[in-house]
Structure 1
Amino acid sequence: MNAAERRHTILDQIAAAAKLAGRDPADVRLIAVSKTRSVEDIEDLIEAGQRDFGESRVQEALAKWPSLLARHSDVRLHCIGRLQSNKAAEAVKLFDVVHSLDRPSLLEALAKEAEKAGRVPSVYVQVNIGEEEQKGGCAIDEVGSLVQAVRSSPLPLAGLMAIPPQDVEPGPYFALLAKLARDLAVDGLSMGMSSDFKPAVMLGGTVVRVGTALFED
């Protein structure tokens, strides 16, 4: 399949999962995870109509995206990887959305750089939903305070983000994130990747981050 066919297949699967859950498929946004992908591969997806892309590393994104964004000004770029506070200035200038806000010090750095740059990305609070030491994300019992800190900052709160543990049923973790969001009156849920975006959509995901299934047959 070519890029357009792969994208169409994923969008059809998203729509089917949404309809099973009684949701409007238009309420789910597809992010193409373009880390490690070439400019040519990304261009193919842009030509197919894709407008949201996700990168994990600031340096890699800086090497590819300035020229792409100059040609495609309507594309939205998402930071989906762990972000160091010392990369906040570059991140603010490049990304429209940051999905990996997990600590007050990073919020402070992003807000400071946003004020300097006159450019304000929206942010998702990342939750360490499986309480895994090796993963980013704030502790579950710290989500409320970090959400409140974002609401008191100049950065718009987009929602909550999480990555369930590997090799286990993801549904309970998606359900827990959705419950946290409801309790905190948060609308956005960035959850679900190539292997599990369908249950994520059925459990309330509003943003799914898909890489392999979009770029490889």
Structure 2
Amino acid sequence: MDSAATRFAEINDRIAHACGIAGRKLEDVTLVAVSKTHAVEAIEPLLQAGCRVFGENRVQEAGAKWPALRERWPDAELHLVGRLQSNKAAEAVALFDCIHSLDRPSLLSALAREMDKAGRQVPCFIQVDVGEEPQKGGYAVPDLPGLLQQAREAQVPVVGLMCVPPLGIEAAPFFALLDKLARDHGLPGRSMGMSGDFETAIMLGATHVRLGTALFGER
């Protein structure tokens, strides 16, 4: 079985190749290793290999694993890539360095309140429902301008947009849509692309790719 270091190196090579085709700089794309459901013992080899940005889906799971890991690797970044309950906003603001799933007004209000209390501004991506799948969460495209205005007024730092395209459909048009929306609104970040389609996402503007299976193997 391939080691974590081998998988990490291979993925970085693929990211570099996609950047080369797209005429982009490698440093403009952040690899987020999605470590949800994986134990500390599976995460540590990637940290040892040089991976420093990780994604978790749940506040409680991340809180059980990452405080101890960060004592050993204080330069590791932790991103929340799963849906966040408003009543977990305080814990999320304390624990995460970036939130990729700002997907509703109530969560915006909760994050604004908890960031103000903590005196800590956590960069956020707004999740956009590019495939018109309400069950996945995310703002409808027509609602995006209003939310961005609310975020500015609430002083919640929005650094980009995030999407999860529909399963079983070519992802490229959805990535292209998210890229256009980000450009139209002057946002630098595009969190898009997972293990099966990250190279396409990079060629269409992704700044953050969220990879789990490609790095950790099948669950």
**Same fold per TM (> 0.5)?**
yes
Could you tell me the percent identity over the aligned residues?
58
Who is 2:208 aligned against? 207
User: Which amino acid letter does the alignment assign opposite residue 156 of structure 1?
Assistant: P
Structure-1 residue corresponding to 2:148: 147
How far, CA to CA, are the matches of 1:207 and 1:166 in structure 2?
19
CA RMSD of aligned residues (A): 1.1
Q: Secondary structure at the match of 1:152?
A: helix
**Is residue 3 from structure 1 mapped to residue 13 from structure 2 by the alignment?**
no
Amino acid at match of 2:40: V
Name the structure 1 match of 2:22: 21
- Equivalents in 2 of 1:96, 1:188: separation in Å? 15
* Residue type at the aligned position of 1:62: G
Does residue 99 of structure 1 match 2:100?
yes
- 1:150 positional shift: 2.0
SS at match of 2:135: coil
Displacement of 1:75: 0.7
Task: Please give the alpha-carbon distance, in whole angstroms, between the structure 2 residues aligned to 1:153 and 1:51.
Answer: 30
Using the TM superposition, give the Cα deviation of residue 196 of structure 1 relative to its aligned residue in structure 2, in angstroms.
0.6
- Contiguous gaps of at least 5 residues in structure 2: none
SS in 1 for 2:209: strand
Matches within 5 A, 1:111-130: 111-130=112-131
Shift of 1:97: 0.4
DSSP-derived class of the 1:130 partner? coil
Cα drift, residue 151 of structure 1: 2.6
Cα deviation, 1:112-168, whole Å, max 9, x if unaligned, reads: 111212222110000011001311101111111112222333332220000000011
Q: How does 1:1-217 map to 2 (within 5 A)?
A: 1-216=2-217
C-alpha separation between the residues in 2 aligned to 1:150 and 1:190?
Answer: 18
CA distance in 1 between counterparts of 2:148 and 2:162 reads: 12
Structure-2 separation of matches of 1:208 and 1:184:
21
Letter in 2 for 1:36: T
**Structure 1: how far apart are the matches of 2:22 and 2:69?**
36
> For the residues of structure 1 that align with 2:8 and 2:78, how far apart are their CA atoms?
17
Output one character per residue of 1:146-198: Cα deviation in whole Å (capped at 9) or x when no partner. Answer: 12222333332220000000011000000000011111111100000001100
Q: Distance in 2 between matches of 1:152 and 1:214?
A: 39
TM-score by length of 2: 0.96
Task: Quote how far apart the aligned CAs of 1:111 are.
Answer: 1.3
How many correspondences in the alignment? 217
Rounded to whole Å, the distance in 2 between the matches of 1:204 and 1:149 is: 26
Residue 134 of structure 1: SS of its match in structure 2?
A: helix
The alpha carbon displacement at 1:59 in A equals 1.0
Runs of 5+ unmatched residues, structure 1: none
Which aligned runs of 4 or more in structure 1 are off by greater than 3 angstroms?
Answer: none
